[in-house]
Amino acid sequence: MSSNITDSMEKVFSDIKSYEEGRINIAAQILAETVINDGTLYTFGTGHSFSVALEAVGKRGSLYKAKLLDEHIPNLARFERIPGLGLVLMKSYQLKSVDTVFVASNSGRYPLTIEVAEEAQRQGAKVISISAHSVKGELPSLAQSGKFLSEVSDVAIDNHGTKSDLLVEIPEYGLKVGSPSTLAGIYIYYLILEKVVEILINNNFEPPLIKG
């Protein structure tokens, strides 16, 4: 039996592979340099995007030096619209030029994730973001700067999602089901990590992955 969610997700994955390959390769080169230079991968996301940040940390096959930003408060969705909170959160960190920060947000328009990315850059780290770039033309940024996450990133990867973050229509009731952004974000992360491993091996550098 055909599945609309399966078909729709396969289209999202196909679009990511087709249109984001160049940016994914650049992100992988940045992260590979972080690994080679003994830097740290920090990850951040609020609400359901926290799942994307969590996927990169502390599990078999992930990088040893990967940490969640503000791991003590995993659900920041209630606070993601509050201006200034990102600066407060980042006061606990002193990032270095060899570090990389991975930020996920479907809309890319809330102050918290934008401020985290901006402050990470100010501290000298490289920022890789994942968000739905189409939102920029449909909804306003809620950050004081008026910018979107994609505009404050060294590499901004489009998850090819939408502002609704829903895939399949249920016309009988005017509903939709199936959020693609979490799966798309995790898929993008693994495309990056796969490329990082390839770069490290080509440089005779053993990938520092957590073993099972």
Are 181 and 161 in contact, with CB atoms under 8 Å apart? yes
pLDDT of the chain, 212 residues: tens digit per residue: 357 899 999 999 999 999 999 999 999 999 999 999 999 999 999 888 999 999 999 999 999 999 999 755 556 667 888 889 899 999 999 999 999 999 999 999 999 999 999 999 999 999 999 999 999 999 999 999 999 999 999 999 999 999 999 988 888 998 888 899 999 999 999 999 999 999 999 999 999 999 97
Asked, for residue 132, whether it belongs to a domain, the answer is yes
Rounded to two decimals, what is the model's pTM?
A: 0.94
Domain count, the chain: 1
For 95, the domain range is 4-202
Asked, for residue 110, whether it belongs to a domain, the answer is yes
Asked, for residue 137, whether it belongs to a domain, the answer is yes
Asked, for residue 169, whether it belongs to a domain, the answer is yes
Asked, for residue 212, whether it belongs to a domain, the answer is no
Asked, for residue 187, whether it belongs to a domain, the answer is yes
Burial class (CB in 10 A: 0-12, 13-18, 19+), 10: exposed
CATH code, domain carrying 150: 3.40.50.10490
What is the rounded CA–CA span in Å between residue 82 and residue 142?
Answer: 9
Asked, for residue 209, whether it belongs to a domain, the answer is no
Asked, for residue 210, whether it belongs to a domain, the answer is no
